[in-house]
Structure 1
Amino acid sequence: MALPRPSEMFDREREWSALGAFAGDTRPGAALGIVSGRRRQGKTFLLRALCQATGGFYFAADEAADAESLRRLGAALGEYLGTPTTLVPQDWHEAVDALLALGRERPVPVVIDEFPYLARVNTQLPSIVQNALAPLRAERDESRSRLLLCGSAMSFMGRLLGGNAPLRGRASLELVVPTLDHRLAAEFWGIDDPVTALKVNAIVGGTPAYRREFVRDDVPAGPDDFDPWVLRTVLSPTSPLFREARYLLADEPEIKDAGLYHSVLAAIASGNASRGGIASYLGRKSGDLAHPLTVLEDCGLVVREPDVFRDNRTAYRIAEPLVTFYHAVMRPIWSDLEHSRDAGRLWERSRSRFESGVMGPHFEQVCRYWTRFTAPPELLGDYPNRVGSGAVNDPSNKTSHQLDVVAFGLEDGGRSPLLAIGEAKWQEVMGTAHLDRLRRVRALLAGQGRYGAETAKLVCYSGAGFSEALRREAAEGTDVVLVGADALYR
């Protein structure tokens, strides 16, 4: 029987169902699960709720010396078991066996939250867990503990089960708790106006804690309240959101030279999407950036996206909207904001950077996500299997055309049909000139022999609307699709 979901839990049906099935598995033998996700996504809430619903054991690790962590774990175990004296494990071998012993009578979830804190101090801990879960070991075979290791350090958690890591092959659950997408985020924030929802999403993304804990349910009352909301939350030095982007970087243990990583992020936020462009912005060689870019990818702060037409060409994108907002808007005026200068005037002067450096790229990404995952299949004639962006060469005009949205269907005979190409404009009312450009690009792709290009849909995405002439074209033809801000929330 499915575990009832707490009434106060928003969404997370998939995650709760997976955790409930894992915790309630009645088969003999201890089992291991790995739960990860960026900070503030609600992992701790999920795991605490799971333990409360099932009578499980929950332990939150701190940054502490190894001996102190052992003492704290022993105290928590003693309290959970109701022993008259405090338990004091001699080492982590004994401690992990004590955790497995909790499941001798029944399946029981055993949660160690912020596991990276423990493993950074005692690097043998993953191996100790591996050995404790070895087959034919009585402590493992006679237990039905469902051990859940949780952490927010994405680079560390990603390596727990990778390559030759000790725990590779030991876990029967690997759960990543994602941020809410733009539609769920709007529902969570209670914002009905799509333009306002997109603007808020471009700043705080889909991180649940930013509404509840960080701004204490301060939500824009409507379109006219967006600017005042920005001033009283993210641009206010008294708001926790004000410094959060800096803390997100500091939270990652793999990042040693924070200044370099902030500069890399600033370069990307300034529109430098290629490694060469980032290197030029920083005045460094391209090869010098291989490591910091890889670390930022492993941390989940940066995403590398290939050009859909050329695999050897990639673009980097910041994955956390608040980090983009910080580098595009806040960092250039940080000192003035800290010293409580006229924030309203500073925000007004920064609006152009917000619209071009934050809203424009964010709108494009939302359009790609919507096309890939939530657009009705009849819109493009099939389910998109791959959606990205790319550049198409135009030799006769000695130029190239950038496509914000390119959708491919499932492979058919070794080839992926091109379902649609599109352009996304946040501030611009789109007209027939945009449609003519898309038609030109479609003809170029057909000339290159791209499978399905002749019938590919031409999609115009706009946050500002469409001209009457373009609306007539869309109404009269079958190959033109118009997607406004409101459609992204349907």
Structure 2
Amino acid sequence: MRKPAEMFDREYEWSALTRFITDEQPGATLGVVSGRRRQGKTFLLDAACRAAGGFYFGATEATDTESLRRISASLTAHVRPAAPFHFANWSEVVDALFALGAERPVPVVIDEFPYLVRANPELPSIIQEAFRPLRDARTASRARVLLCGSALSFMGKLLSGSAPLRGRAGLELVVRTLDHQLAAEFWEITDPHLALRVNAIVGGTPAYRREFARGDSPRDGEDFDPWVVRTVLNPETPLFREARYLLAEEPDLRDTALYLSVLGAVADGNATRGGIAGHLGRKATDLAHPITVLEDAGLLHRDQDIFRDNRPTYRIAEPLIGFYHAVMRPVWDQLERPGSAARVWKATRRRFVCNVVGPHFEQVCREWTLHHADPDLLGGLPAQVGHGVVHDTAARVGHEVDVAVVGLADGRKPPLLAIGEAKWNDVMGLAHIERLRHIREVVGRAGRYDASATKLLCFSGAGFNDKARAAANADPTIELVDLRMLYGLS
């Protein structure tokens, strides 16, 4: 299968689909493809069907009867039989799909599968029955059936626990957002300072450039503010209301106002469950369910404290939602008025830097450490990368650590490979390094981790002064990481 020239990256996903679809072994096989909305799943699967001569069906919100009528018409147009199909139930549909693979392996895609299940909850059990190991229709076919969906809470449960399809799938593929390096390449931005600010707003979602911003990318650093005004804050563009639609499209979110309030509390810097509850004037126990639902939907992410057990913190997983709650939601009425975007943005840029770019920069530093940093630089392969608070009993204070890297334990006390501090707007100096040295000593005394070889990482979006550079040159345990290094440019 030749990947389309217009498809950016997705090498891993295309290779996985190619191996699954072109597998010559007998018997129909099942695959599940999931991922957050706007990541290009439909484009990916439709391209795979075109490349391999397969069948693609995109479900819609409809009654069960209407969906059966639609797939009957689609399959009739694809196969062109002597008489058109008129399926009475989904068992007939599955058998007809299996028949497509009678002579060769062929992809069969059912996109937006959750819509069909919402109208007919028995559908997973029907498919389970169709994929029984010795069933004749299955063994005589080499159809490669792919179920796809964007409702992460639903798709995550499709193959888990006692779900009917557990153990039936031969492929479970998650189409993820582009990381910060690939996103910069996709947006054709070579300036890392500009790239990170753009990434803090739109993240790595491909559709936000191609469809939602109509290919509009900031030309340089001076064009960043005008770009924000003419795209994200412009009521005429789809990006303007996208954050609201992302929430509304999740089927498990019933009380939208409550979920918006939870996300708003996190965007305001309330990262713990108690902090969120206090911000909303509710009991922490009352928020257990909405927080869990937001996690399952992929909109909220829970991070464990590396240094303290049972002290999780929460962050918004989708940058555009974080930007909406921090910048747009408080002044929504003004932004809806045409011509107000420039004035509003001028007044909210400081909030953008503090509440959006700063936390996003810290998260990018953690992701770079986990996925891009050379293990030799860290002193080993990371087993866990996160952040946390180190309690200094002698001084009776807590030291926040932006980046904490734990290595493989190997049966002994786990090594703390590195601790780091991330500053977006500050030129880092010797004081930052001395602070990390002190924290390293406190961790070593606590005894939970082996801190004898812990590296000190300084991440800065503004650079380092001469004293910091001199200290790094004199001490091999100190690493200075700038934006060019974060973006793989040095």
TM-score normalised by structure 2 residue count: 0.98
1:335-484 to 2 correspondences below 5 Å:
335-484=333-482
Matched residue SS, 1:397: coil
Report how far residue 10 of structure 1 moved: 0.9
Kept in 1, the 8 Å contact 2:413–2:450? The answer is no
Q: Distance between the aligned counterparts of 1:294 and 1:418, measured in 2? A: 30
Name 1:82's counterpart in structure 2. 80
Instruction: Give unmatched runs, 5+ long, in structure 2.
Output: none
In structure 1, what is the Cα distance between the partners aligned to 2:66 and 2:448? Answer: 63
For residues 55 and 17 of structure 1, the distance between their equivalents in structure 2, rounded to whole angstroms, comes to 17
1: CA distance between counterparts of 2:449 and 2:249? 46
Distance 1:380 1:27 in 2: 44
- Between stretches 370-379 and 116-125, larger displacement belongs to 370-379
What residue identity is the alignment partner of 2:292? T
Q: Which moves more between the two structures, 426-435 or 229-238?
A: 426-435
Task: Between 168-177 and 450-459, report the one with greater CA deviation.
Answer: 450-459
Q: Which residue of 2 aligns with 1:7?
A: 5
* Cα deviation digits, residues 379-418 of structure 1 (max 9, x gap): 1222222110011011222210000000111222243211
Q: 2:49 aligns with which of 40, 48, 51?
A: 51
Q: Who is 2:39 aligned against?
A: 41
- For 1:110, the aligned partner's letter is V
SS, match of residue 353 in structure 1:
helix
Q: CA deviation at 1:84?
A: 4.3
Which deviates more from structure 2 when the two are superposed, residues 469-478 or residues 219-228?
469-478
SS of the residue corresponding to residue 394 of structure 2 reads helix
Provide the rounded CA distance (Å) in 2 between the counterparts of 1:86 and 1:56. Answer: 19
CA contact (8 A) 1:252 1:299 kept: yes
Q: Which residue of 2 aligns with 1:178?
A: 176
Q: Deviations over 1:275-295 (max 9, x none)?
A: 000000010000011110110
Map of 1:326 onto structure 2: 324
Q: Secondary structure at the match of 1:455?
A: coil
Query: What is residue 284 of structure 1 aligned with on the other side?
Result: 282
Query: Which amino acid in structure 2 is aligned with residue 232 of structure 1?
Result: R
Q: Name which of 229, 232, 237 aligns with 2:230.
A: 232
**Superposed CA offset, 1:193-245 (max 9, x none):** 00100000000000000010011110000000000000000000001000000
3-state secondary structure, aligned to 1:481: strand
Identity %: 62
Kept after mapping to 1: 8 A contact 2:21/2:106? yes
- CA offset digits 1:112-149 (Å, max 9, x no partner): 00001100010000000001111211111111111000
Aligned-partner residue type, residue 339 of structure 1: R
One-letter amino acid of the counterpart of residue 188, structure 2: G
Inter-partner Cα distance in structure 2 for 1:455 and 1:21? 43
CA contact (8 A) 1:100 1:143 kept: yes
Is 1:314 the counterpart of 2:337? The answer is no
1:249 to 2:247 alignment? yes
Residue 210 of structure 1: which of 204, 208, 211 is its match? Answer: 208
CA contact (8 A) 2:28 2:98 kept: yes
Give how far 1:169 is off: 0.6
Distance 1:344 1:420 in 2: 42
Deviation at 1:191, TM superposition (A): 0.2
Q: Structure 2: how far apart are the matches of 1:337 and 1:279?
A: 28
Residue of 164, 167, 181 corresponding to 2:165: 167
**8 Å CA contact 2:413, 2:448 repeated in 1:** no
Question: Partner amino acid for 2:33?
Answer: V
Structure 1 contact 185–206 (Cα < 8 Å) conserved: yes
Q: Is contact 1:154-1:300 (8 Å) kept?
A: yes
1:449-477 residue CA offsets vs partner (Å, 9 max, x unmatched): 24431321111111111111111111121
Distance 1:455 1:22 in 2: 44
- The answer to whether the 8 Å contact 1:418/1:450 transfers is no
**One-letter amino acid of the structure 1 residue matched with residue 465 of structure 2:** S
User: What SS does structure 2 have at the residue aligned with 1:304?
Assistant: strand
- What letter is aligned with 1:124? E
| Rounded Cα–Cα distance in structure 1 between residues aligned with 2:24 and 2:300 | 40
- Asked if structure 1 preserves the Cα contact closer than 8 Å seen for 2:428 and 2:468, the reply is yes
| Mean Cα deviation higher: 412-421 or 178-187 | 412-421
Match of 1:189 in 2: 187
Alpha carbons 2:455, 2:479 under 8 Å: kept? yes
The aligned amino acid for 1:460 is C
Q: Alignment length, in residue pairs?
A: 488
Q: Counterpart in 2 of 1:60?
A: 58
CA distance in 1, matches of 2:163, 2:309: 29
Does structure 2 retain, via aligned residues, the 8 Å contact 1:182–1:201?
A: yes
C-alpha displacement of 1:192: 0.3
Shift of 1:350: 0.5
Q: State the TM-score, normalized to the length of structure 1.
A: 0.98
Q: Which residue number in structure 2 is paired with residue 297 of structure 1? A: 295
User: Which one is further off, 428-437 or 274-283?
Assistant: 428-437
**Stretch of structure 1 that moved more, 302-311 or 359-368:** 302-311
Question: Whole-Å Cα distance in 2 between the matches of residues 362 and 149 of structure 1?
Answer: 33
Deviation at 1:248, TM superposition (A): 0.3
Deviates more, 1:178-187 or 1:470-479: 470-479
State the distance in 1 between where 2:111 and 2:456 align: 48
Distance 1:415 1:40 in 2: 43
